Copies of this chain bind each other. A is one copy, B any other.
Amino acid sequence: MRLTTKGRFAVTAMLDLAMRQGCGPVTLAGISERQSISLSYLEQLFGKLRRAELVDSIRGPGGGYTVSKNLLNITVADIIVAVDESVDATQCAGRENCHDNHRCMTHDLWTNLNITIFDYLSNVSLASLVEKQRAKEVCVMQDKRECSATQTATASKAL
């Protein structure tokens, strides 16, 4: 479990997407503008999110991305693993650190830390993030009217 800004961007983008579920496909251009993330960078990230089957894509005008499953079944850990290609990364750096043939002295420490982090992030669903966000501001883009009030009401009832 690596924690980089790449993972944070991905979570932010997924949250933006999740907030607009039901409004039809959401374009990367829109997410890019609202969240101030470069469009090309988002393309990279969503390529990985799509291959991880967290989002579905629809091409052509009116196309975009939608979340592929129930928001309750997607966790922050899923998103981070999808974009950061976790590759182990914590097991004493894989190759160079484990001392001689026995496990390095701090092996268990890092393994347990990894479990702690993963547990925490596995228990935060996209649904809960959406809920908290709605509690803060009735609709993020209230002023821009890109998503109707009706949609917001329906979505929050689903939680």
Contact = CB atoms under 8 A, between A and B. Distances in A.
A133 B99 CA distance: 13
Majority SS at the chain A contact face: helix
B117 A113 contact: yes
Interface in A92-112: 92-93, 97, 99, 102, 104-106, 108-110, 112
A38 to B, nearest CB: 11
B104 A12 contact: yes
Contacts of A109: 11, 76, 124, 129
Contacts of A106: 8, 11-12, 15, 129
A44 interface: no
How many copies of the shown chain assemble into the complex? 2
B8 A110 contact: yes
Contacts of A55: none
A104 B4 CA distance: 16
User: What are the 10 A-B residue pairs with the smallest beta carbon separation, nearest first?
Assistant: A116-B120, A105-B133, A15-B105, A12-B106, A11-B106, A5-B93, A113-B120, A12-B105, A117-B117, A15-B106
Given A3-B113, A102-B137, 20 more contacts: A3-B3, A5-B93, A8-B92, A8-B93, A8-B97, A8-B106, A8-B110, A9-B97, A12-B104, A12-B106, A15-B105, A15-B106, A16-B105, A35-B99, A76-B109, A105-B129, A109-B129, A113-B117, A113-B120, A116-B116
Interface of A: 3, 5, 8-9, 11-12, 15-16, 35-36, 76, 92-93, 97, 99, 102, 104-106, 108-110, 112-113, 116-117, 120-121, 124, 129, 132-133, 137, 140
